[in-house]
């Protein structure tokens, strides 16, 4: 039975009615890491790993939510939308945004589950939030704009999960388009679909299997360090409102006045923003070698200056450096674990996976999981045929 069929049959069995189905994808980010909350540029894409959700009204004031993956039901009422622990926050957080915005909801049931690996940095939480947002909008015929749904997902993450994330993950998951990346300006939210022709290469994710518990607090700390940097730069350049407005020269002139850590964080963000622009040029020219070199540089900045990598991710990236079948590799997402993104020759993908898995097992005693991913459409209704 396919996953959406399983969602439907579980729904029928548990809640006894026919659900409306939604499909919501995870995302990769080609380049532009930790630039979104600095009002910079990103280049993400939705991928063919999904969360499927079923919804129906239940004519009560109670909401019953069942997670297939956790085999657990949680219940809440719309009058009591306060953060709890675990996955339910991503559902309640979005419902709270709807209520806060003045939309009238009634009790509903929801079953969800999917194949986006959890904690692998592929934005399973953004996919879930978006799925809940679109599902509720459809179920209650609210006709909410996609961009508003994206904002609700982000705010749910801030208020209920306590992660002060940028907008990239939910934007990519919601707005994604088959075979196109999204070139997004995180200040104006202007975006363009960006065709990526990989020729005889493909995306391959190597999941380190590591997810550090301090990742959320470290993420918020990086955000705060960038804010401190902006505040110090503003004393000299009052027109600056984010790191997006600062160039490398300006920052260098202020080096002595910034704490060393803050300087390195800001310097990374400024360079990464520049790399997104240069990467787009390289991709437009189908120059995958040049693009691959930017991936490696991005990783170096994330590891050395932004300090969000870890030995496992560094190992996975370093392992690829001299391999002719790999054009580029870097850690992806917030960091401290999760996946590396690799641009690998299709013909050598299996050979590469075997080689890197053996080396990783040997070094860390961890069984590497590798996923070949394709770029797909964003969150939408799903119809069973
Ligand atoms: C996480 C966040 F949720 C994103 O907003 C982004 O900042 C990313 O880390 C780093 O680029 O996925």
Q: Helices (H) and strands (E) in the chain — how many of each?
A: 11, 13
Tens-digit pLDDT profile for residues 9-44: 999 999 999 999 999 999 999 999 999 999 999 999
Q: What is the pLDDT of residue 358?
A: 98
Q: How far is the CA of 48 from the centre of ligand 1 (A)?
A: 19
Q: What kind and span of H or E run contains 220?
A: helix 215-234
Q: What is the pLDDT of residue 200?
A: 97
Give the catalytic positions in this structure: 169
Same domain? For 98 and 231 the reply is no
CA angle 332, 117, 191 (to 5 degrees): 50
Count of positions (residues) in the chain: 385
With a Cβ cut-off of 6 Å, ligand 1 is lined by 33-34, 36-37, 165-166, 168-169, 333-334
Same domain? For 121 and 11 the reply is yes
Look up the CATH number of the domain holding residue 225: 3.30.70.890
6-10, long-range: CB within 8 Å, 24+ apart, which pairs?
6/68, 6/113, 7/52, 7/53, 7/54, 7/68, 7/111, 7/112, 7/113, 8/54, 8/384, 10/54, 10/66, 10/68, 10/111, 10/113
Q: For helices 288-300 and 260-284, what crossing angle results, to 10°? A: 170
Provide the domain count of the chain.
2
Same domain? For 221 and 148 the reply is no
| Atom from ligand 1 closest to the CA of residue 166 | 5
Tens-digit pLDDT profile for residues 117-150: 998 999 999 999 999 999 999 999 999 999 999 9
Report the nearest-CA residue for atom 7 of ligand 1. 34
Q: How far is the CA of 53 from the centre of ligand 1 (A)?
A: 24
Q: How far is the CA of 168 from the centre of ligand 1 (A)?
A: 6
Q: Is pLDDT above 90 for 82?
A: yes
Specify whether the CB–CB gap between 60 and 8 falls below 8 A: no
Q: What is the pLDDT of residue 214?
A: 63
* Pocket test residue of 119, 219, 272, 299 for ligand 1, highest count of atoms within 8 A of CB: 219
* pLDDT, average across residues 182-196: 97
Same domain? For 174 and 40 the reply is yes
Q: Is pLDDT above 90 for 92?
A: yes
Give percent of the chain above pLDDT 70: 99
Same domain? For 322 and 264 the reply is yes
Same domain? For 22 and 80 the reply is yes
Report the nearest-CA residue for atom 2 of ligand 1. 165
**pLDDT band for position 216 (50/70/90)?**
confident
Name the residue among 118, 205, 132, 123 with its Cα closest to residue 169: 123
Mean pLDDT estimate for the chain:
97
Look up the CATH number of the domain holding residue 26: 3.30.230.10
Question: Can you tell me the distance from the alpha carbon of 222 to that of 308, in angstroms, rounded to the nearest whole number?
Answer: 9
Same domain? For 178 and 126 the reply is yes
Same domain? For 174 and 255 the reply is no
Same domain? For 181 and 212 the reply is no
Q: Which residues, at least 6 apart from 74, have a Cβ–Cβ distance to it below 8 Å?
A: 64, 65, 67, 84, 88
Tens-digit pLDDT profile for residues 329-358: 999 999 999 999 999 999 999 999 999 999
Residue 153: which domain range?
A: 3-196+376-381
Q: What is the pLDDT of residue 16?
A: 97
Specify whether the CB–CB gap between 18 and 383 falls below 8 A: no
Same domain? For 163 and 205 the reply is no
Same domain? For 265 and 338 the reply is yes
Choose the weakest-confidence range: 104-113, 216-225, 290-299: 216-225
Question: Can you tell me the distance from the alpha carbon of 108 to that of 118, in angstroms, rounded to the nearest whole number?
Answer: 25
Q: What is the pLDDT of residue 217?
A: 86
Q: What kind and span of H or E run contains 57?
A: strand 44-57
Same domain? For 181 and 274 the reply is no
**Model pTM greater than 0.90?**
yes
Tens-digit pLDDT profile for residues 220-265: 999 999 999 999 999 999 999 999 999 999 999 999 999 999 999 9
Q: For helices 311-320 and 349-364, what crossing angle results, to 10°? A: 140
Question: What are the tokens at 187?
Answer: 């200040």
């Amino acid at each position: 039975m396919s996953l959406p069929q399983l969602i439907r049959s579980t729904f029928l069995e548990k809640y006894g009615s026919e659900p409306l189905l939604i499909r919501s994808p995870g995302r990769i980010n080609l380049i532009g890491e930790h630039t979104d909350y600095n009002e910079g540029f990103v280049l993400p894409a939705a991928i063919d790993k999904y969360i499927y959700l079923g919804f129906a009204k239940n004519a009560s004031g109670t909401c019953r939510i069942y997670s297939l993956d956790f085999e657990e039901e949680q219940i809440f009422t719309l009058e009591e939308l306060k953060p709890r622990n675990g996955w339910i926050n991503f559902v309640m957080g979005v419902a709270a945004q709807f209520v806060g915005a003045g939309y009238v909801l009634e009790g509903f049931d929801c079953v969800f589950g999917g194949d986006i690996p959890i904690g692998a940095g592929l934005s399973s939480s953004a996919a879930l939030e978006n799925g809940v947002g679109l599902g509720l909008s459809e179920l209650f015929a609210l006709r909410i704009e996609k961009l508003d749904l994206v904002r609700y997902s982000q705010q749910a993450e801030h208020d209920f999960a306590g992660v002060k994330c940028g907008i990239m993950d939910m934007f990519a998951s919601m707005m994604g388009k088959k075979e196109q990346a999204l070139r997004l300006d995180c200040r104006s939210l202007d975006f363009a679909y960006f065709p990526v022709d990989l020729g005889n290469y493909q995306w391959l994710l190597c999941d380190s299997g590591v997810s550090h518990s301090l990742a959320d607090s470290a993420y918020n700390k990086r955000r705060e360090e960038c804010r401190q940097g902006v505040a110090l730069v503003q004393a000299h350049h009052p027109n600056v409102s984010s790191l997006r407005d600062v160039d490398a020269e300006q920052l260098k002139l202020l080096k002595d006045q910034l704490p060393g850590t803050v300087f390195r964080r800001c310097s990374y963000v400024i360079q990464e923003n520049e790399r997104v622009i240069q990467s787009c040029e390289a991709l437009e020219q189908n120059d995958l070698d040049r693009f691959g070199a930017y991936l490696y540089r991005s990783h170096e900045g994330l590891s050395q200056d932004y300090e969000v990598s870890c030995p496992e991710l560094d190992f996975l990236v370093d392992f690829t450096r001299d391999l002719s079948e790999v054009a580029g590799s870097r850690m992806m997402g917030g960091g401290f674990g999760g996946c590396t993104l690799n641009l690998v020759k299709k013909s050598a993908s299996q050979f590469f996976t075997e080689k890197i898995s053996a080396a990783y097992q040997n070094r860390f005693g961890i069984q590497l999981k590798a996923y070949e991913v394709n770029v797909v459409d964003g969150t939408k209704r799903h119809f069973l045929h």
